[in-house]
Amino acid sequence: MITRQRLAVGVCALLAALTVGMAFPAGAVADETEGQDAPKVELVLDVSGSMRTRDMDGGSRMAAAKQAFNEVLDATPEEVLLGIRTLGANYPGNDRKEGCKDTAQLYPVGPLNRTEAKAAVATLVPTGWTPIGPALLKAADDLDGGNGLRRIVLITDGEDTCQPLDPCEVAREIAAKGIGLTIDTLGLVPDAKTRDQLICIAEATGGTYTSVQHKDELSDRVGQLVDRAADPVVTPVAAEGATDCAKAPTLKSGLYTDREEFGQQRWYRVDVNPGQELRASVSVAADRAVAPDYGVLVRAVTEHGREIVRGEAAGNGRTDVISSGLRYPKPESDDESAPAETVCLQITNSFSAAAGVKTTPGLPLELTVDVVDGPGKSRDVASFGLGRGWWLLGALVLTGFLAGLLWGWISRWRVAIWRTN
């Protein structure tokens, strides 16, 4: 006999199957990484003398790093092109100039031969200086080329010893190139200065910082970051905005990165056909100390300077990112040969640098542009304002209708069985 609990479980399972099947039909989710090259990751390991310190679960920091690397190499996804670079591994002397050149590629970025990579890691012995800045510059070159995701994972137990080449400024320069390269940092038993420096490096490129105290934490975190490289993502495209609309680049639907000086305006152009809708959103990140009052403004204007629509946001306090956006539906035209309208997007920020803070390179800017068919032209945008979520609402309505029918049928069937008994 079917119990009430089994019945409830069966109904829930069926409803879940119906929802998944209708909400995400085969082929409904586009592969946004189609046409992209394989993701590249380079592990940058500090092999300076301080890595001999024995405070990682009773063993040395170097031993913990080797164990983590071996575990990560075993678990690296096949599609990831992985390389290993060292800093402070080869020069044991006291000449600072030579010590700050001590960075080398231990294993080239490419298809992974686990046996060879592990053998290379096994040879490492804590030796010299901590040239983080030079190592990051070289790692960026190692990952150059292609349009796939690029990620540097920096593992170190101390701050850079090769100033004035500030590794945080190096990270900002890498981000300013707009090549979509992310730097994640891991600090092994870090002090306050090391932590602050590694946080700054990570934030400059949109990466993450993790403080590591134990061997297992190191293995788990490095493994997560390598796995993340294999996740499907949209790689931003570098775009250089202009000082006025006439000189601005024309953008199509996509994700773009740029740099904007403090208080500067950046202009971009987008062509919108009759019956289409322009959606644009922008985020400006404060990757260094800024004054407490700030804002960002995005405007859509005609080529002749008439404002169409605007979006703005402001704040007062401490922030990392401030964002705004806008929508502009271009009315349909009875003239089938009507030309596209060039819409000028103006982005302005009102950030100001705190005293003593460098203003170059500019602040990281991320711009999303989406040009879609408007409500009257296709089903891409629902007339009641739910955008591309119309199909989800329909799926939920249909699921509810079928669930009601199913529940009614089961209830009648149970009543019939009860009466016969």
Average pLDDT (55-62) is 92
Whether the predicted pLDDT of 33 surpasses 60: no
Q: Where are the beta strands (DSSP E) in 286-395?
A: 293-301, 307-316, 321-329, 341-349, 363-373
Whether the predicted pLDDT of 340 surpasses 70: yes
Average pLDDT (81-103) is 93
Q: How confident is the model at residue 320 (pLDDT cuts 50, 70, 90)?
A: low
Q: What is the pLDDT of residue 159?
A: 86
Q: What is the pLDDT of residue 2?
A: 39
Burial 42-54 (b: 16+ CB within 10 A, else e): bbbbbbbebbeee
Whether the predicted pLDDT of 73 surpasses 90: yes
**Structural domains of the chain ordered from first start:** 40-229 (3.40.50.410), 237-373 (2.60.120.380)
φ, ψ for residue 131, nearest 5 deg = -85, 75
pLDDT tens-digit series, residues 280-302 = 988 888 777 788 888 899 999 99
Q: How confident is the model at residue 378 (pLDDT cuts 50, 70, 90)?
A: very low
Q: What percent of the chain has pLDDT over 70?
A: 78
Which distant-in-sequence residues (6+ apart) come within 8 Å of 342 by Cβ?
250, 269, 270, 271, 272, 302, 303
Q: Decide if 73 contacts 83 (C-beta within 8 A).
A: no
For the chain, how big is the Rg over CA atoms in Å?
A: 27
d(CA 417, CA 354): 77
pLDDT tens-digit series, residues 183-239 = 999 999 888 888 889 988 988 887 888 888 888 889 888 988 888 887 765 667 888
Write down the mean pLDDT value for the chain. 81
Q: What is the pLDDT of residue 32?
A: 45
Whether the predicted pLDDT of 332 surpasses 50: yes
d(CA 276, CA 371): 7
- Rounded to two decimals, what is the model's pTM? 0.58
pLDDT tens-digit series, residues 122-176 = 999 999 999 999 999 999 999 998 888 899 999 999 888 887 788 999 998 888 8
Q: What percent of the chain has pLDDT over 90?
A: 39
Q: What is the pLDDT of residue 411?
A: 61
Q: How confident is the model at residue 324 (pLDDT cuts 50, 70, 90)?
A: confident
For residue 9 the two structure tokens come to 């479980």
In eight-state DSSP terms, residue 51 is G
d(CA 119, CA 166): 32
Residue 188's nearest CA partner among 41, 47, 40 is 47
Between residues 13 and 347, the one the model is more confident about: 347
φ, ψ for residue 33, nearest 5 deg = -100, 10
Q: What is the pLDDT of residue 26?
A: 36
Q: What is the pLDDT of residue 354?
A: 78
Which of helix, strand or coil describes residue 53?
Answer: coil
Q: What is the pLDDT of residue 13?
A: 40
